[in-house]
Structure 1
């Protein structure tokens, strides 16, 4: 029986469109160019930050992030960045008595922005706050510490096999792979993903069926 549901952030609850568009504008390259580079690193199974290094060889991503923030062109999120199913799905899960947590590889700034959206969740935490990131086992141990439930009663939902699905399963959690965003679509029918997934979903609304069924 599932007691706690933990959701990834990028391309699980938020669209990454604005994130990459802002980076493209900052680097003064066409948005389509950076989008295509993101697709290329996804296909290679590389970290998405590699797209920035391809666009600007030698870039210090952390330094450029700080420069963007200082220039008033940093991270931003509002309701338009959420997928349409997020609020209704999270509300439905809370009504079913689920503990609902958002935990993903994002900055501390992203955590503050998400909290500002007043989502119907119990907790929002990010790797930037924990100083440990997926797919490290320590990240999922922190998830379990926050879950207040046994590993088999905790469901992690995410789009990225290497960052979400496989390490969550290795930590003993249940896992749902969502076909959403470039990683979710590209790897949805991969044999290892199919085998590892407890559930494969196309929308967060399906989580209520999982809890009830």
Structure 2
């Protein structure tokens, strides 16, 4: 039985388009160039941060984030960045008695911005606050402490086959893939084949009936 559902952030709850466009503008490269490079490195099983090295070898993203903030061009997250199914799905999960959390590979500032959205969730955390990021098992150890229930009673939902689904399962959690964003579409078939009957979602509004039918 599932007691808790914990969601990844980028391309699960949030459309990342605006943030990637902001990075491309900051680096003074065409927006499609950065998007294509991110897609290439991720399809190769590498971290999307490596795409930035092609544009600026040796770039320190932490330093660049700070420079963006100081220039008044820092990270922004608003209601318009949420996918339209997010609020209804989260609210319905809570209405059915599930604990709902958010935990992804984002900065501590992003955590504050997400909390300011006042989503229908019980708690929000990010890798920037925890000091450990996916796919490190330590991240999912923190998820296991963060969410009520034994690890097998916690479902982690994300768009990334390796960082979300496989890493969560390796840590004893249950996992579901949301088929959106480039990686969710790219790997949906892999996830479905690896776990017949496993959860591959077209929309988050499917989830309440799958984990706790009325």
Consecutive unaligned residues of structure 2, counting only runs of 5 or more, are: none
What TM-score does the superposition give when structure 2 sets the normalisation length?
0.95
Deviation of 1:116 (Å): 0.3
1:78 aligned residue = 78
Q: What is the CA–CA distance in structure 2 between the aligned matches of 1:142 and 1:212, rounded to whole Å?
A: 24
Consecutive unaligned residues of structure 1, counting only runs of 5 or more, are: none
Asked if 1:56 corresponds to 2:56, the answer is yes
SS of 2:74's equivalent in the other structure is: coil
Q: What is the CA–CA distance in structure 1 between the aligned matches of 2:9 and 2:208, rounded to whole Å?
A: 19
1:11 aligned residue = 11
SS of 1:124's equivalent in the other structure is: strand
Q: What is the CA–CA distance in structure 2 between the aligned matches of 1:100 and 1:178, rounded to whole Å?
A: 16
Give yes or no for contact 2:192–2:199 (8 Å, CA) kept in 1: no
1:125 aligned residue = 125
Q: What is the CA–CA distance in structure 1 between the aligned matches of 2:12 and 2:128, rounded to whole Å?
A: 18
Q: Which moved more, 1:52-61 or 1:142-151?
A: 52-61
Q: What is the CA–CA distance in structure 1 between the aligned matches of 2:193 and 2:9, rounded to whole Å?
A: 21
1:147 aligned residue = 147
**How well do the aligned residues superpose, as a CA RMSD in angstroms?**
1.2
2:45 aligned residue = 45
1:158 aligned residue = 158
Give yes or no for contact 1:161–1:193 (8 Å, CA) kept in 2: no
Q: What is the CA–CA distance in structure 2 between the aligned matches of 1:15 and 1:188, rounded to whole Å?
A: 18
Give yes or no for contact 1:6–1:102 (8 Å, CA) kept in 2: yes
Q: Could you list the per-position Cα deviations for residues 167-210 of structure 1 after superposition, in whole angstroms to 9, with x for gaps in the alignment?
A: 110111111011111111111112x6531473111111111111
What TM-score does the superposition give when structure 1 sets the normalisation length?
0.96
Q: Runs in 1 of length 4+ with deviation above 6 angstroms?
A: none
Count of residues paired in the alignment: 212
Give yes or no for contact 1:180–1:202 (8 Å, CA) kept in 2: yes
1:28 aligned residue = 28
